[in-house]
Amino acid sequence: MSEIDLTPAAAARVAAIATKQSRPPILRLSVDGGGCAGFSYRFGFADGIEADDIRAERDGTTLVVDPISLDLVRGSAVDYVDNMGGASFRVTNPNAASGCGCGSSFSI
């Protein structure tokens, strides 16, 4: 199993946003303490890749995760979902014991 995965839909969305913003197609996923379930996911574009980052690459797009956050999201997949509930990046995290309705926080 890979340490983390980026789905084709997420890779396409990262590439589209990066092109519009004239940035490299690098999405950073990190985990912060807090949120309604204990931990929360944070997404942002990165200008570069740190030496200790774990990477997942798909279709010319890179997902990076720092080693501390990776302990909480190892084995996860980052997807991009666009439905009637809205459009957002989502994490399918096999380590999460529970989540919240908003889909952006979880507990272990």
Q: What is the pLDDT of residue 1?
A: 47
State pLDDT tens for residues 34-86: 655 577 889 999 999 999 999 999 999 999 999 999 988 999 999 999 887 77
Residue with tokens 């990776």: 70
Is residue 14's pLDDT more than 90? yes
User: What pTM did the predictor assign?
Assistant: 0.84
Question: How large is the average pLDDT for residues 77-101?
Answer: 80
CA dist 101 and 47 (Å) reads: 31
Q: 43-64 b/e with 16+ CB inside 10 Å = b?
A: beebeeeeeebbebebeebbbb
Architecture in CATH for domain 4-107: Sandwich (2.60)
